[in-house]
Structure 1
């Protein structure tokens, strides 16, 4: 008995298929993956988005945060990622050929920073996307593991909520990790006053008894 293999999509087919306003999806190695974030996941990504927006507005930085954006890896036409937060550069975005027609990024210099908030598919954030964003030349990449879902080699022993900040140095990512009350040191937003714990909890006050 034979079983039909799933039909693999390329990125153009995925973008043509993508339903407007109905859920969020990524293309991973030719397969459509529905993104189903939890409530806390959405709170954390929304909090980061808001804090970045304040920095951009107050400092009048030439950046913006799009509502929708697909990032195409450099060496494949069968994947397209939708970061939880992405900060784009107004000064270079017009040179990216797929931005205007398809809200798609193909060049690392279009991007200042990407944030992925870890879900159960943590391997994608720590391994696959990390390698693809590095190859693309994304200068700064945050992996926000607020629930310590990743393996202990990423979140410590014992495991604890960890914000891993990858900075591109000579074409390779160098990582700094932040926990609890550690102040986050971001090359893109050097003046931001934010601790790891504020990000993990989306700045919510601790519950009282």
Structure 2
């Protein structure tokens, strides 16, 4: 979240407040319902997200979860999970993707859910709010330092709307960025077939409505499957009836042939040529 890293810290102004080690930060209990990031030992309270900010994050989580499930990938999508980038610095991206096995390790650890050094997520997302410098400069440097393969900045500010994808490109020492604007589609570097509309990300539909539509589609699909099964069963029964009728007709024809043979034999016994009988 963009307001979490105070510019004053980056400008190295004097700060007499106590500093924390990463281990102290992991178990720190601050004010209820307040999340803190750690920047060079300083606790930075995170600003409350706007409604649009929340909707964007929910939409991205929804789309990523569906994508991972559709591709049967052993990855998880999480929010409010920290990423340690230096000895005394830890960011909390709005959305991150990491391996399922790594997440299971985090679950077994005491204290806050934080990916430690070497426990690198595949993708992190930050939605820009007021402190644009934090996301575009400070956090870029932090995620680059932590070797996060892909960093996505979603900027919904009117007049500046865009989505920036930063990633390590072969042959480059640091992040290379690509900007995507309204009317375009973003293409992930880590997940190259994960494609989303910039317009939908910046002005996302309600996830609740997407879930309803998904459920309605599933129900319609199930109903269609029932109809198809019924139709198949009717076709099977019809084919079986036709087979039975054909068998009955065959039996009747055989019986008629046998009767004709018997009649012909009887006529011969009586001295009548059956071929002369009309």
Q: Give me the TM-score of the superposition, normalised by structure 1.
A: 0.79
1:38 aligned residue (41, 47, 50): 50
- 1:95 deviates by 10
- 1:86-108 per-position Cα deviation (integer Å, ceiling 9, x unaligned): 000235x2797x67414221345
Residue 85 in 1 paired to residue 102 in 2? no
Deviation at 1:146, TM superposition (A): 0.8
Distance in structure 2 (CA, Å) of the matches to 1:67 and 1:175: 23
User: In structure 2, do the counterparts of structure 1 residues 54 and 4 end up closer, same or farther at CA, with 3 Å as the change threshold?
Assistant: closer
* Correspondences of 1:21-60 after superposition (within 5 Å): 22-35=33-46, 36-60=48-72
Q: 1:18 to 1:163 in 2, by over 3 A?
A: farther
- 1:198 deviates by 0.8
Instruction: State which of 182, 185, 200 in structure 2 corresponds to 1:183.
Output: 185
Query: Partners of 1:12 and 1:109 in 2: how far apart?
Result: 16
Paired residue secondary structure (1:27): strand
CA offset at residue 193 of structure 1? 3.5
| Structure 1 residue corresponding to 2:73, chosen from 54, 61, 84 | 61
Report the RMSD for the aligned CA atoms in angstroms: 2.6
SS of corresponding position for 1:73: strand
- The 1:4/1:186 distance shift into structure 2, 3 A limit, reads closer
Look up the SS of the partner of 2:122 in the other structure.
Answer: strand
Q: How does 1:48-197 map to 2 (within 5 A)?
A: 48-74=60-86, 76-77=87-88, 79-90=89-100, 93=102, 100-101=108-109, 102=111, 103-107=113-117, 110-147=120-157, 159-169=159-169, 170-197=172-199
Partner of 1:18: 29
Partner residue in 2 for 1:5: 16
Kindly provide the CA deviation profile for residues 150-171 of structure 1, in whole angstroms up to 9, marking residues without a partner as x: xxxxxxxxx4201010011244
What SS does structure 1 have at the residue aligned with 2:135?
helix
Structure 2: gaps spanning 5 or more residues: 1-13, 207-278
Using the TM superposition, give the Cα deviation of residue 174 of structure 1 relative to its aligned residue in structure 2, in angstroms: 0.6
Large movers: runs of 4+ above 6 Å: none
Aligned equivalents of 1:100, 1:172: Cα separation in 2: 33
